[in-house]
Structure formats: structure tokens, C-alpha cells
Amino acid sequence: MIRFDNVSKTYPRQNAPALSNVSLEVERGEFVFLVGSSGSGKSTFLRLLLREERASHGSVHVLGKDLGRLSNWKIPQMRRQLGTVFQDFRLLPNKTVGENVAFALEVIGRPRGQIRKTVPEVLELVGLGGKEERMPGELSGGEQQRVAIARAFVNRPMLLIADEPTGNLDPQTSVGIMKLLDRINRTGTTVVMATHDAQIVDQMRKRVIELERGLLVRDQARGVYGYQH
Amino acid sequence: MRAHFVLSEIGVGLRRNLTMTFAVIVSVALSLSLLGGSLLTNQQVNSMKDFWYDRVEVSIFLCNENDAQTDPACSRGAVTEDQKEQLVAELEELELVEDVFYESADEAYEHYQTQQADSPIAAVVTPDQMQESYRVKLTDPTRYDVVSSAFAGREGVQSVQDQRSTLENLFDLLNGVNYAALGLMALMLIVALLLIVNTVRVSAFSRRRETGIMRLVGASSLYIQLPFILEAAIAGLLGALFACVLIVGVKYFAINNFLAEQIPLINFIGWDAVLSVLPLVLVVGALMPSLAAFFALRKYLRV
């Protein structure tokens, strides 16, 4: 599903690499937490997965494709098989909940009939059944993140990438979001989640990958958050 | 490709940047009407050249008694009958010469009087001050110098004049004006393109949320860029339409209803010439802004 071979990334005009010599593999269907303090390289790791950046050295394979060799015009096709969720939800404030989810299908040219059928289904799945006509501004943070997850999942991606999805939510709401991500994981979707939330990591007991100053310092099955900050 | 989605995006974009869109439309309209106008002026000048050059003649002015005293070219006295006969014989031998007309001093006087009827000079000019001349029509008016070198400076010949050189001054002036219009057009077009680049930048910035999401969910770059490019194309096309209206308006009001009546001598360009320029104006109007938008997007929109 994901394979990093000796991956390093140095940004232009910076001396210290954001990632250095990281090698790891994630199997299909795994749930992986990515932890580390700010500036440890978590974001770079995710950006490499999304092919927002290219590795300076080494190779990144996602879904069987070498992203370093993927030509630019094939990137959209690759991204359609990924779902992405962010801390700040990234919803369109002037579209309804339903339209926000439909947007992801519209812009990749899916037929209208399919959109009309899929959107309510996926909203039902994330626990927002019947809220299609609401505007994002009317919803709580947790509900907005559910909309974002619905949008990320509506294409049934093989891999879901979540960048601190609970970062803006209170602990109780976070638990709900984690349950949802866990349920999505159980349908066979691989989940990679960057987080600072020690409580969640300790509760879930999933694989934990820890980065520190760009280095892979821990890769632990059924791990815990493990460091103080 | 879902047309509905793209169209609604375009509508939103154009409305959001209404002032900028308006500026684009106006500058495109002005630059393209200058383009069409100068193309048509060029055609006009060419058709006038064809028309007038067919009619121009080389005039060989002969010395009269008056010139014999004042003009060094005529220092050997007025032209004699022998010299005239010799001249005509030589002219008719030249292959270049199509026709030779003789104009006597009296005829020249009459022409002068009718042409310069209002001039105070006309009243004091007498027939014996006028010159006899041969009007030579050439098969190829550009080879005037053959006649000029053969006859200028001969006994009895005062001067050889080419009407073409007089016309050329006029045409040079018209062409000069035309180049100035083209230069102005180029400047206006650059202004229009810079405006478009700026519009795209603002537009891309105000829609970065949408385009960011589109990128993440795997919309193709064409799909992301198309609304921006079509926006520019539509603004450009509107400008081009205005330019067409302007060109047709000038043809109808200024040329057909005014100049053509005032100056019947000139054969003005017809509707066919005007209509043949309009498609070019429309194509340039749609294409240039699209290209400008495309290159602006490469800079201001990550896809």
C-alpha cells in the first residue's frame, strides 16, 4: 500500500532535511498513527504521500505506483484513490453539506445520477443522515469534520490520509471521529493519521510511527503515544 | 466534463471581478478595433494605389519663351518643332510607353483655370506662361526613371515629372498613420493582456479554497483551469464583439454615409472587406486572452 525506501526530503534554501532516510512499509488495511512534535517531519511525510512534494532521495510507492516517476498528468488519477482529511476541515462555506460532498464527485466528472445516489449514503455512514441541506457554518466542529470525512470517503478510496483530524475538537467529539475512522478502516481502507492527541493513540492501540527531526525513531505495532510534550 | 458546473463557476468568477472584467472588455475592444481598422486602412491604401497608379502619367514639360530666360534647363531657347517631332518619335519607340498625349499651352491654361478657379494666381496667369507638355502613360508606372533619364536635360525639355511621386507622399502618410495605429494597438493589447493576468491572479486567489479541494480530490488540471481560461475567453470575446460593432459602425456611418458622399473620387473599401476582417478580430479576441490566462495560471495556480 505504502512503501518508503530511504526517503529524504530537503526543501529548497534549507540546510536540515525535513525527512532523512526514512524506510517503512504500510500494508493494505492497516491503521497507522504518525506522531512527533511540530517540525518532526509529519507534514512532509503526508505531503509526499499526496505527491504534493517529491522526495529528494529514495522512492515513495503509494498504491503500487512510484510517485517519483509518476508524470504530472497522472497525479489526479492517483489522488482519486486517496481520501484526505485536515484539521481545518476545508469545507466550502457557501455550499450545503450535500453540495460539499457532491463537489468531490462533480469535479472528477462523475455522472449526476451516481452523485445523487452516493451522497446521501455516505452522509448516512458518517452519521449526518438528513443534514444534507444544512450549511457548514450551522454545524458543530465535530459535524463539520464528519462532512469532510464523508467527502474524503465518497470515492471509496483505498487510502485515507488524516492530518490531525481531531486537532480542533474537544476530547469527547474526538472520540466520535476516531470511532468513525476506525469503522472506515474496518471496511478495508488503509488509514494514516498524523496526530498530537496522546489520549487517542493510547486508547486505540494501533501501529505508531514516530518521527523526530526527520528521522524515523520508532515503529511499533499496537503502540502508545509514548513521549511527553 | 460537466458543463453546468463549469458554467456556474465562470458566472461566479466574472461577477466577482466585475470591474476588472469590464476593464478587460474595454481594452480588448479598443485594441481590436485598432487592429481591424488598420488592416482595413491598409486594404484601402492598396486599392487606392491600384486605382491611381493605373492613371498616373509622366509629364514631359517643354520649354517656352518665358523659361528660356529664367530656367537654366532652357538656356538654349524655347522648344522647336523639330525637337518635338524627335521627342515623339523616340517616345513611341519605347516599349514601356503605352500612350502619348500632347497638351498645348492653351489647353494647359484652360485646365489651370478650371482647376484653380478660386486662386488669385489664376487671374494673372496668361496662356503664354503655360508650358506645352507630353503626357506619357507607361505600361509599368514604377519604371518612371527610364523616361526620366532619357529625356530630362535634353534641349527643349524643361523637366520630367512623375505624378506617382506626388501620390507616393500621400500613401506614405497614410501608411505612417497606419503603423502608428498598429503600434497603439500593440500597446493596448499588452495592457489588455496584463489586465487579464492580474484578473486571473485575483480570481485564482479568491478561489484558492475550491481549487485546493479540487486538487486534493483528483480533479484534472484541465478541469481546474478551464473556468479561468473560459472566463478570459468570454471577456475577450465580448471585447471583440464590441470591436466588431465599432468597425461596422465606422464603415456604415463614417464611410458609407459621409466620406463616400464627400469624396466620390475615392473608391472606398466595400462590405466584403469589412466582413472578412471580423472573424479575425473575433478569433484574436478569444484566443489572446485565453493564452494569457493559461500562462498566468501556470504561475498563480498550483495544480
Phi, psi of B259, deg, nearest 5: -60, -40
From A19-33, A102-116, B108-122, B270-284, the region with the lowest mean pLDDT = B108-122
Q: How far apart are CA A226 and CA B5, in angstroms?
A: 48
Closest CA to B289 of B35, B29, B36, B2: B29
Residue B6 contacts A, CB cutoff 8 Å? no
Q: Which of A76, A92, A151 sits opposite B219 (nearest CB)?
A: A76
| Chain B contact set for A151 (CB, 8 A) | 213, 217
Are both B82 and B103 inside the same structural domain? yes
Query: What CATH number should be reported for the domain holding residue B87?
Result: 3.30.70.3040
When mean pLDDT is compared over A54-63, B1-10, B179-188, the highest value belongs to A54-63
Are both B60 and B47 inside the same structural domain? no
Residue A54 contacts B, CB cutoff 8 Å? no
Residue A221 contacts B, CB cutoff 8 Å? no
Domain region containing B98: 55-163
Residue B226 contacts A, CB cutoff 8 Å? no
Are both B177 and B296 inside the same structural domain? yes
Q: For residue A166, what pLDDT is reported?
A: 95
Are both B292 and B179 inside the same structural domain? yes
Are both B147 and B94 inside the same structural domain? yes
Taking each helix axis from N to C end, the angle separating B18-53 and B163-206, rounded to the nearest 10 degrees, works out to 160
Judged by phi (left if over 0) then psi (alpha if -120 to 50, else beta), residue B128 lies in: alpha
- Using a cut of 0.80, tell me whether the model's pTM lies above it: no
Nearest CA in chain B to A74: B220
Residue B141 in grid coordinates: 508606372
Question: A112: how many CB neighbours lie within 10 A of its CB?
Answer: 12
Please determine, for residue A87, whether its predicted confidence score (pLDDT) is greater than 70.
Answer: yes
Question: A161: how many CB neighbours lie within 10 A of its CB?
Answer: 26
From A88-97, A130-139, B39-48, B289-298, the region with the lowest mean pLDDT = B39-48
For chain A, the average pLDDT equals: 93
Residue B215 contacts A, CB cutoff 8 Å? yes
Are both B151 and B270 inside the same structural domain? no
Considering only CA atoms, give the Rg of chain A: 18
Phi, psi of A190, deg, nearest 5: -75, 135
| Chain A contact set for B221 (CB, 8 A) | 72-73, 76
Q: How far apart are CA B197 and CA B193, in angstroms?
A: 6
Are both B123 and B148 inside the same structural domain? yes
User: Are the Cβ atoms of B216 and A103 closer than 8 angstroms?
Assistant: no
B193 to chain A nearest CA, in Å?
27
Q: Of B133, B163, B193, which residue sits at a domain end?
A: B163
CB-based contact A88:A168 (threshold 8 Å): yes
A90 to chain B nearest CA, in Å?
7
Nearest CA in chain A to B219: A108
Nearest CA in chain A to B6: A107
Q: Of B132, B163, B194, which residue sits at a domain end?
A: B163
Residue A186 contacts B, CB cutoff 8 Å? no
Are both B260 and B138 inside the same structural domain? no
Question: A25: how many CB neighbours lie within 10 A of its CB?
Answer: 12
Are both B88 and B135 inside the same structural domain? yes
Are both B152 and B193 inside the same structural domain? no
Are both B72 and B154 inside the same structural domain? yes
pLDDT digits (tens, 9 = 90+) for A176-228: 999 999 999 999 999 999 999 999 999 999 999 999 999 999 998 988 887 65
Please determine, for residue B190, whether its predicted confidence score (pLDDT) is greater than 80.
Answer: yes
Q: Of B113, B143, B163, which residue sits at a domain end?
A: B163
The count of structural domains within chain B is: 2
Residue B224 in grid coordinates: 481546474
User: Are the Cβ atoms of A104 and B210 closer than 8 angstroms?
Assistant: no
Residue A115 contacts B, CB cutoff 8 Å? no
Taking each helix axis from N to C end, the angle separating B208-216 and B221-249, rounded to the nearest 10 degrees, works out to 140
H or E element at residue B63 = none
Give the CA dihedral B245, B246, B251, B252, nearest 10 degrees: 60
CB-based contact A47:A161 (threshold 8 Å): no
| Residues whose CB is less than 8 angstroms from the CB of residue A91 and which lie 6 or more positions away in sequence, other chains included | A100, A136, A144, A147, A148, A151
Q: How far apart are CA B39 and CA B6, in angstroms?
A: 36
B219 to chain A nearest CA, in Å?
5
CATH superfamily of A1-78+198-222: P-loop containing nucleotide triphosphate hydrolases (3.40.50.300)
Alpha-helix residue ranges (DSSP H) falling in chain B:
3-16, 18-53, 65-70, 81-93, 105-115, 120-124, 144-151, 163-206, 208-216, 221-249, 260-262, 271-300
User: Are the Cβ atoms of A79 and B218 closer than 8 angstroms?
Assistant: yes
Are both B152 and B172 inside the same structural domain? no
